[in-house]
Amino acid sequence: YKPVHRAPLSLDSPCETSDPTLLSLLQCRCSSQTTEMEEKMNTALLAPNEETKASLRRLHHPFGTPQVTQPDVSFCLLHQSDYLTGYSRDIIVPLWVSYVIKPLFHVRAPGPEECVRADVRVPPEASQLCSRFKNHPRLTFGLLHPPYLNDSAPETDSLINSNMVPMFPAFKNVWT
């Protein structure tokens, strides 16, 4: 018997840039960020060209892009400088996040995750509502790529709703 990987039954499709004016419907606002700051961060998310994306895939997917082996899954690959996300439009959460942890010469303490903004690359209808977790007694969120691991980009690159997953509060103490 010779084991083999299953063939992918779904392939990623491009993430469509959404209209920034519709993002307010997702209730992901940060009082500490001005509109100008948010526009600058959004522009940075949209900046990678195909050459940069290929370089990021080689870095963060040294053994190839994770395969989705369920049929008819609608997902896209989101590129950030410090990590890549396979984001599901169907279940509206990340399927996986991959990144390389470089040697840490100093470890930054985890910062507050209160200020998560909407990802402009994901259409509002396929995006999570940030308010879903704000006052929920039994549910919070975690970030699959911790902001304090960002090496080449600001922490705000990880503080986006495409990096959030639902989590029970007790588990969050273990995760962070």
Per-residue model confidence (pLDDT) at position 46: 84
Per-residue model confidence (pLDDT) at position 98: 95
State how far the Cα of 119 lies from the Cα of 156, in Å rounded to an integer: 11
Per-residue model confidence (pLDDT) at position 62: 92
Q: Write out pLDDT tens, residues 70-120.
A: 999 999 999 998 999 999 999 999 999 999 988 766 666 555 556 888 898
C-alpha triplet 66, 68, 72: angle, nearest 5°? 155
Please give the helix or strand (H or E) that residue 129 lies within, else none: none
Q: Write out pLDDT tens, residues 120-161.
A: 898 888 888 888 877 788 888 888 998 888 877 777 888 899
What is the per-residue DSSP string for 49-86? -HHHHHHHHHHH-TT-PPPB-STT--EEEEE-SS-EEE
Sequence ranges of the domains in the chain: 20-100+111-175
Q: Which residue has the higher pLDDT, 157 or 24?
A: 157
- The fold of 20-100+111-175 is Extracellular Endonuclease; Chain A (3.40.570)
pTM of the model: 0.83
> What are 97's strand-pairing partners?
85
Is the CB of residue 46 less than 8 Å from the CB of residue 19?
no
Residue 159's CB is within 10 A of a number of other CB atoms, namely 24
Q: Which of 2, 126, 133, 110 is nearest to 75 (CA)?
A: 126
Ranges 27-41, 44-58, 103-117, 125-139: which has the least confidence: 103-117
